[in-house]
Structure 1
């Protein structure tokens, strides 16, 4: 099926992913839907275990555990990826859709040099000689800010620092100029200086390669600096979605607001302690009957305990899965503090 250039770049609808357990199928991702436009940056945010990485792996066609059940629709430029034969998926993976994995130390094969591994991906998708592939590898390593890229290409992963490994992983993902780049927590375990450099690099990809980026993180500060739109996941379900400025300025879900409250303020009065979200996310095997965030929410009431709330429109492209907006009840002023504490 040829690509439909008029369709959204990535259109995910009612994606459900279940893993087998003793009691039956356990839903890890439950009816997640979102759309990515061309040359956009979408932040997929939530605590560990919210389903972010599993969603990305499903998009990439990398979930092959026995008994896993995947339903719904994942369309890339109008082409359905769920159920796509492995051979056809391999043609897309790396060339049209690429991924930066969480830990570049374990994502790279330790017994081959960095250059060999990037060369291999290039030659798998394009008819280039070894010399031509190596020339492109060295060039793109240089574009990613790697000093002395010819020497680095001859190094093994364990011989590079965390920041250089991450840059090499980004170079590998971009080596075939993919249209969609999935970055799974690309700044994890990096110091703040290197983290800022990696984020600047991701923001520049739109201009350098015309790539759209799905940025997976648990850091709301990273989303604020980088993303055009934001999708908040909680316990495998969409809690809130919308333009980043709108979501940060007027969060419609108590979970989103609580994540924002946990960010240290850049100016104004400094709190003695940052607010923390009490409790822990529920196990996928034992979710509450109603809102999954209900047991941790300071504003829970009877309507929250019956059925999972549906997404309620809050503005242009902005929606939250909470009964408070549905009832016409705004979040308390303490939570809606983000738009008022602006720096001079």
Structure 2
């Protein structure tokens, strides 16, 4: 693990809130999310579908411009406030300083242009390269990503490539201008296990070869364990817990974090016939309870969890914070079998 923790944060997000207006009602999607990222750090952003992970990433990239959307808070990148930049200012920032690997490369790529043309275009726009220089660099990038026969692959259309090759091409395009921050939204979704392992290994090498920090968005706690330095757990648009990945896996302080970890098959000992499942589902944004949003699904719920506003994040360890009353009450959570996961960060 090689992060620059003594320098000012590369990315500093404070009280980020995103809400949508529907039928005259203001519906909060993300509420008061705060986190920071150091240089060369890999931060995991985890939670079930609908927890606010992808919409947070879209806000960081300046890709939410629909009418009826309200975004408040502060997002500072390299010390500069980027929340509220104009579309033109964001276009200059995207690709060159902040890049994103989208969840589905098949729909993220333009289907009527070849893979090479789309990477060439980004290089020419941001790096002012000639056509020949851009194509040479495109082939080099595809080769670095482990794409076989990169010169011929560059001339193919997205539909002509497998899922794994499209994902590698998407990473190549994201890294074409050596961005300082790479946002990876579910980069291993719909890939087979072998290709997943290759993509994760490739991402771990990115900060070494390119010096990039990576915000890894996923619902797969196993992926987080093998890849991330720190982890931020979201539930229903709010931060439930954050800390170093090793501490969070070994000593989860929020019942939701513990439940997510319990869903991972143990790395040693007898394998259970059925993995534990969290009953119910996350509330709809317009139907969140007044108190803790996880309370209806939590086995530790008691009277103080329901009527009062959700507790703020408070420190429970040197690098761990949690939004739950249980740690302050001294209620221990069971140590999860998955805490024996081997860490490769």
Q: Same fold (TM over 0.5)?
A: yes
1:234 counterpart residue number: 235
Q: 2:326 aligned to 311, 324, 327, which one? A: 324
**Structure 1 runs (4+) greater than 3 angstroms displaced:** 335-343
What are the superposed Cα offsets for residues 157-188 of structure 1, whole Å, 9 maximum, x if unpaired?
Answer: 00000000000000000000000000000000
For 1:65-80, what aligned pairs fall within 5 Å after superposition? 65-80=66-81
Contact 2:258 2:336 in 1 (8 A): yes
After TM superposition, the structure 1 = structure 2 runs for residues 9-20 of structure 1, keeping only pairs within 5 Å, are 9-20=10-21
**2-side partners of 1:258 and 1:300: how far apart?**
14
Contact 1:268 1:341 in 2 (8 A): no
Residue number in structure 1 paired with 2:114: 113
* Unaligned stretches of 5+ residues in structure 1: none
In structure 2, the partner of 1:309 is 311
Contact 1:51/1:235 (8 A) holds in 2: yes
Q: After TM superposition, give the deviation of residue 336 of structure 1 in Å.
A: 4.4
How far 1:24 sits from its partner (Å)? 1.5
Query: By how many angstroms is 1:88 displaced?
Result: 1.4
After superposition, the C-alpha distances for 1:120-144 in whole angstroms (9 at most, x for unaligned) are 0111111110000000000000000
Whether 2:114 is the aligned partner of 1:125: answer no
Unaligned runs of 5+ residues in structure 2 are 1-5
Structure 1 residues 62-95: Cα deviation after superposition (integer angstroms, max 9, x where no partner):
0011110000001001101111122111111000
Please report the RMSD computed on the Cα atoms of aligned residues, expressed in angstroms. 1.5
Alignment length, in residue pairs? 337
Structure 1 counterpart of 2:42: 41
Counterpart-to-counterpart distance in 2, 1:21 and 1:165: 36
Q: Which residue of structure 2 lines up, in the alignment, with residue 83 of structure 1?
A: 84
State the shift of 1:317 in Å: 1.9
The answer for the alignment partner of 1:55 in structure 2 is: 56
SS of 1:7's equivalent? coil
Q: What residue is the counterpart of 2:94 in the other structure?
A: 93
Query: 1:132-143 maps to which residues of 2 (within 5 A)?
Result: 132-143=133-144
| Cα deviations by residue, 1:258-292 (Å, 9 ceiling, x for unpaired) | 00000011210111110000000000000011100
Q: What secondary structure sits across from 1:83 in the alignment?
A: coil
2:295 is aligned with 1:294: yes
Output aligned runs, 1:166-205, within 5 Å. Answer: 166-205=167-206
1:342–1:14 CA distance, 2 compared to 1 (3 A): closer
Task: Give the whole-Å Cα distance in 1 for the aligned partners of 2:51 and 2:61.
Answer: 18
**1:17 offset after TM fit, Å?**
0.2
